[in-house]
A and B are shown apart, each in its own frame.
Chain A
Amino acid sequence: MSDLINKTSQFFSSGIIDLFIGYKKGRLGEGKPAFFTKPDQLSELIFDENCIVNLAVYLRKPELKKYSKIGILANFGTLRALLQLAAENQITDGQYLILTVADGKVLEFANLKAIEEYVANNLPKPNPERLALLKEIESKSREERWDFWTRELSSCIRCYACRAACPLCYCEQCLVECNQPQWVGVPPTGLGNLEWHIVRAMHLAGRCISCGECEAACPMEIPLGLLTQKLNMTIISNFGQIPGTKREPDYALSTFKVDDKENFIR
């Protein structure tokens, strides 16, 4: 950890960064998000596998605009979010100082290409428990699946914590906030909840970088990450595109290829 603190401290003292977003020790020993503006605060800086919050979510905060250069300590989900944000023209190469720690060593990424390579070499296999859970849901009949999701989504209180925690939900105005016309019912009733979660999942189809923050933030314990995961698997198997692995646009649902195998699009 001292290596990380020393390096970060140097970035401050040489004037390369004036804000560093990392982690400090949380209530149960896990890492919680922390914002450092001075080198002498860095003694609290930590990084380990329990630092799970996706820090890319903070980059859209207007409060950060006053900082000239921001450093970010990225876990794997954050790296993938940064690539996806770059592919969607939300951030640019070189805009942030991006660090991670791998095998006890501090890595500084020279550019997004370096992140791309790192992500490609370290892409984890999907969690077998989650896959089993998805399989279990898929094996249900249509009616049973309907019952499962209407039951799970009935507890939704429409706090939109899933949206707030998602690094890829960066719209200035969310569709659900549009009231002329009101596309999605706002009251947390059965229909409105169903509409909201379908919209959320569809807007993340092929964009979700599987960090799990939506589900972790859900105060009602709804397994909503399963929806985006299922859609992602469909995208991957049909188009071979894995979200959050490329810095250039590579998005099945918004790109057109002249040699598309489907006829309807020609």
Chain B
Amino acid sequence: MEYKLIKLEKIQEFINSLIATGKQVLAPKQKKEKVFFSLIHSFEEIAMDYIQTAFSAKSAVFPKCEELYTFEKNGKETILNNPQAPENDTIVFGMRPCDGAAFDYLATFFLKENPDYHFKMRYDNTIFVGLTCSSGDEFCFCSSVGISPSDTRGSDLMLTKTENGYYVEIITEKGKKLVEQFANFFEQIEQIDKTKYVANIQKRFDSSALKEKISGAFDWERWEETSLPCFGCGTCAFSCPTCTCFDIQDEANLLGGTRYRIWDTCALGIFTKHASGHNPREKQSERWRNRILHKFLYTDEQFGILSCVGCGRCIRNCPAELSIIEQVNAITEG
């Protein structure tokens, strides 16, 4: 692996140069109370000292609403048009290592078996620049799901803030190319020990004890009791960096229209409602169970990875303050 350094005073110039060369830079930006990944137009807009954004940068590769294709009638024929890949690279700048791990999961989900055209188009055009966590809060639990606050998986470049500037680990070819393109901002440096710059994220639950319990947890008698405060808003899933469920919707008139893929969530009753009116997940507790089992069991069975990365967004964003940490501990305790 190669290592570089960007001096503190150079980081601003680096970001502004990325923007100047036409790259779409998505970075954490303060909205009102919360920080969101947003398209930025200059370095000043970036909120560098954030703990966690309200939503991940998932929308860079899996937008909340994306055009799958357009269709139009031409006499007796129907013409389909696929969307074109964006011309310019997107740079996700300053994402946390948990989000990096989440992008890794998304790539597995969307590309492993039948590569998804639309996801691939965006993913191939996106460069992920991670940022080591120097602090966390009581909702961070990456270390409980096997991810560290300086984890490099899913990142093309990994930045760690030090006294001298940002220490850069070049993880992938994509990352290397970006550094070469903007070589004048980077200085050569030896590998350093990152430990003292990395947050200490406490273990909130015992993942091996959970693994033992979770496969038999479908019939656990406490799902209803533990999920009573959930009123089914779905914010947990919408803000989750690994939730991939989507709905397909058309907007059309007699002459043509657009087919969209949009975010969906198992928290909503309509998610599983059949045309007959029957709903196999009638109650919120059954929907909540699905969400927990999906994160900690189903994707483990399917891909060998948990689809919870411990970012803590579902806890911070929940209006009823349900906590996935408390839930998992309750399951483990039985």
Q: Which residues of A are in contact with B by a Cβ distance under 8 Å?
A: 26-27, 32-35, 37, 53, 57-58, 61-63, 157-161, 164-165, 177, 185-189, 192, 213, 216-217, 219, 221
Contact = CB atoms under 8 A, between A and B. Distances in A.
Interface in B237-295: 238-239, 247, 249, 251, 260, 262-263, 265, 268, 270, 282-285
A219 B55 contact: yes
29 contacts: A27-B138, A32-B320, A33-B229, A33-B320, A33-B321, A35-B225, A35-B229, A53-B319, A58-B229, A61-B228, A61-B231, A62-B282, A62-B283, A63-B283, A157-B238, A157-B263, A158-B64, A159-B238, A164-B234, A165-B319, A186-B247, A187-B262, A188-B64, A188-B262, A189-B65, A189-B260, A217-B319, A219-B317, A221-B32
Contacts of A213: 319
Contacts of A177: 270
B33 interface: yes
B233 A217 contact: yes
Contacts of B232: 164
Contact of A57 (B33, B231, B315): B231
B235 interface: yes
A27 B321 contact: yes
Contacts of B284: 61, 63
The 9 closest A-B pairs by CB, nearest first: A161-B233, A32-B321, A164-B233, A187-B260, A217-B319, A35-B228, A33-B229, A159-B238, A219-B235
Given A217-B233, A221-B34, A187 B251 contact: yes
A160 B268 CA distance: 9
A53 to B, nearest CB: 7
Contact of A159 (B225, B233, B260): B233
A165 B232 CA distance: 8
A177 B31 CA distance: 30
B54 interface: yes
A185 B139 CA distance: 36
Nearest to A192: B251
B81 to A, nearest CB: 17
A28 B265 CA distance: 27
Interface of B: 31-34, 54-55, 64-65, 138-139, 224-225, 228-229, 231-235, 238-239, 247, 249, 251, 260, 262-263, 265, 268, 270, 282-285, 315, 317, 319-321
Contacts of B263: 157-159, 188
Of B263, B268, B321, the most chain A CB neighbours within 10 A belong to B321
Contacts of B270: 177
Contacts of A158: 64, 262-263
A217 B317 CA distance: 8
Contact of A53 (B64, B65, B320): B320
A189 B235 contact: no
A213 B235 CA distance: 14
A24 to B, nearest CB: 9
Contacts of A219: 54-55, 235, 238-239, 317
Contacts of B32: 221
B64 to A, nearest CB: 5
B1 to A, nearest CB: 37
Contacts of B247: 186
B234 A159 contact: yes
A27 B55 CA distance: 20
A72 to B, nearest CB: 13
B285 A63 contact: yes
Contacts of B249: 185-187
Nearest to A163: B233
B251 A189 contact: yes
B287 to A, nearest CB: 11
B131 to A, nearest CB: 23
Given A58-B228, A58-B229, A157-B263, 16 more contacts: A27-B139, A27-B321, A35-B228, A37-B225, A57-B231, A63-B284, A157-B64, A159-B238, A161-B234, A164-B233, A164-B234, A185-B249, A186-B249, A186-B262, A217-B233, A217-B235
B15 to A, nearest CB: 23
Nearest to B269: A177
A34 B326 CA distance: 14
Nearest to B247: A186
A141 B55 CA distance: 33
Contacts of B31: 221
B291 to A, nearest CB: 14
B235 A221 contact: no
A33 B224 CA distance: 15
A221 B33 contact: yes
Contacts of A187: 65, 249, 251, 260, 262
